[in-house]
Amino acid sequence: MKTMDHSSLVKREILHADKITVFGDRQADLINFSFHLVEGEALGIVGLRDSGIQTLVNFLVGKQRLDSGDFHFNDQRIQSGWIKPSWRPSIYFIGNVPQIFPALTVAENLCVIRNGAKLRKFVRLDQINAHVQEILDEYDLPISPLMQASRLTKSQQHVLELIKAKMMDAKVVVFSNSLSEYSEIEFFHLHTIIRSMQNSGTSFIITESQFDRAFSIVDRLMLVRNGRNSGTYAKGEFDKNLMQQILMGKQLAGETIKNGPVHTEITDSVPFLEIKNLTTSSNHLHHLDFDAHRGEITGVFAIDDSCVSELADVLLGFADFKSGAILVDGVEIRPVKETRRLTNLMGYFGKQNLFKLIFEMMSVKDNLVLGTRGKFTAPFGYIKDHVVLYAFKQISDRIGLNIHDAYTITKNISTDAQIRLLFQKSFIKGAAILIVENPFSGSDLISQRIIFEHIMEAKSRNLAVLFISNNFSEIQTLCDRAYILREGKIAGEMNHVEMSQINMSQIFRIYEL
């Protein structure tokens, strides 16, 4: 079913594609693909991996040519070939890797723009800095025009690009697969800026892997499957479960993610993991107090992206702390001094660090051996190859491989198989605690389902699961209880019932954000 938001009917159509075909360069093809975009609208696009979305983005930003069909932009038309060079300044692309000059200042980056640069009337550097400061104040951005761009956070770099797009009078901004990496506060500020630009007539095409973020920021949502438009829905018609079924062809664990896991009543009053008055050496995290029980998913919601990775590093023994204590099953452990012991107790999954934890040039079998607590090692360090192969055969179905893949170079197996391999390593070594850090960031629906299933398996295995995330909807639906981490310290705690009855607007008010 294809529908259109009625509010768009009174606005001018800025872009229209009618049965276009674009053959992908190492990407899925677009076949007889049709869609439109009106002035001041935010159109979301969601699809599975290799659905054709990347091919569409590549075409819009001039990286691939149109093979057939009609494509109209700003009342001009092409039927084949590349988009017109004169269109390119009007279509601004923002991807996962920001297009800024890290060695330049914020003000200098805004000067390096094409076509109608607003700053060319200013000659002196102090005039440029003063004008840029006015722009930053307009968007309530706490950064200086003199700040080096390399010091900006990723979200601040994206905001800087939005300002550049506006100064270039871009008609359309293509925002590709970035929203899931934002903290809730960063996302709120981004949403405010996008709405301001929409009110000025700028249109947005936003590709995103997570429905929740897309639902809150777009006016219409288009589903792409196998290179075709599988339906476009107005805001009032958004249905996460239905859209997952359309894209994946059947009802999967996505519905379970939507409804949340069954809440666990903790019978053991003694926590398995205890963090007491912990302050890190950098002082980014200070006076932390929280705990986690076996068979429970305990959330840590980083409301402002407060050093999420540093918390995981301390618990994994990769970073030290100057005061406080970490207790596991009542026994105090000093991470850096007892790294091996801590590593044996901890399993870890972080989507952003996946390729650091998997040695892609080694075989799947050798990746299984590394970090599995000597399970396959005979006296004097000799690795029992037949035992490794036997163990691999037992878990090969869970990874999605067969026994012949044991010697396959890991980079040649799918990302989903690598995700499964990483979780299975934690289970095989007998980890008692699983630390999960922003696991769904940048993942498509299939990967999200796989990650969800393994987190629930860890819970069913009676592991203490510590779920660290800057996305509150993930915390709400997965965790039995959660702590609020703000400005490097614990600012509050919520149980399962309290989490189900609160939203981000209320959290912003409670914590005066």
Does 274 map to a domain? yes
Domain end call among 198, 219, 251? 251
Neighbours of 132 (CB within 10 A): 24
The span from the CA of 407 to the CA of 404, in Å, is 7
| Same domain flag for 143 and 103 | yes
Instruction: Look up the CATH number of the domain holding residue 82.
Output: 3.40.50.300
Q: Strand 30-38's sheet: what is its strand order?
A: 30-38, 13-22, 68-73, 76-78
How far is 315 from 293, CA to CA, in rounded Å? 15
Residues in the chain: 513
Residues 171 and 275 in one domain: no
My answer on whether 322 and 453 are in the same domain is yes
Rounded alpha-carbon distances, angstroms, from residue 300 to 470, 471, 475, 499: 8, 10, 8, 12
Give Cβ neighbours of residue 319 (< 8 Å, ≥ 6 apart): 280, 281, 310, 313, 335, 336
Place of tokens 């970490």: 326
- Give a yes or no: residue 264 inside a domain: no
Among the listed residues 472, 479, 505, 480, the one whose alpha carbon sits nearest the alpha carbon of residue 210: 472
Find how far residue 7's CA is from the centre of its chain. 30
Spell out the residues 6+ positions from residue 282 whose beta carbon is closer than 8 angstroms to its own.
Answer: 307, 310
Is the same domain home to 225 and 100? yes
Same domain membership, residue 363 and residue 495? yes
Q: 292 and 243 share a domain?
A: no
Whether residues 93 and 133 fall in one domain: yes
Where among 251, 281, 314 does a domain terminate?
251
Q: Are 376 and 369 in contact, with CB atoms under 8 Å apart?
A: yes
Query: Would 277 be classed as within a structural domain?
Result: yes
Tell me what pLDDT residue 377 has. Answer: 57
Is there a domain that residue 275 lies in?
Answer: yes
Write down the pLDDT at residue 147: 92
Q: What is the pTM of this model?
A: 0.80
- Is residue 463 domain-shared with residue 357, that is, in the same domain? yes
In a structure prediction context, what are the per-residue pLDDT tens digits for the chain, which is 513 residues long? 444 444 444 678 999 999 999 998 777 789 999 999 999 999 999 988 778 899 999 999 888 999 999 999 988 898 888 888 888 889 999 987 778 888 889 988 887 754 444 444 445 677 778 888 888 888 878 889 999 998 888 888 888 999 889 888 899 999 986 677 788 888 888 898 999 999 999 999 999 877 888 888 999 999 998 899 999 999 889 888 888 888 876 544 444 454 455 566 665 678 999 999 999 888 889 899 999 999 999 999 988 765 778 888 888 877 788 889 999 998 888 766 666 667 778 888 985 555 556 777 888 878 777 666 556 555 545 556 667 777 777 777 778 888 788 888 888 888 888 888 889 888 888 889 999 998 888 788 888 888 999 999 999 999 999 999 988 888 988 999 999 998 889 989 999 888 888 888 788 777 666
Say yes or no: 321 and 245 in one domain: no
Q: Is residue 498 part of a domain?
A: yes
Are 237 and 357 found together in one domain?
no
Taking the CA atoms of residue 173, residue 178, residue 182 and residue 184 in that order, the dihedral angle to the nearest 10 degrees is 60
Range of the domain at 48: 8-251
The two structure tokens encoding residue 187: 């996302």
pLDDT of residue 5: 45
Both 221 and 308 in one domain: the answer is: no
Predicted confidence at residue 365, as pLDDT, reads 79
pLDDT at 3: 44
Question: How many domains, in total, are found in the chain?
Answer: 2
151 occurs within a structural domain:
yes
Q: Final residue of a domain: which of 219, 251, 283?
A: 251
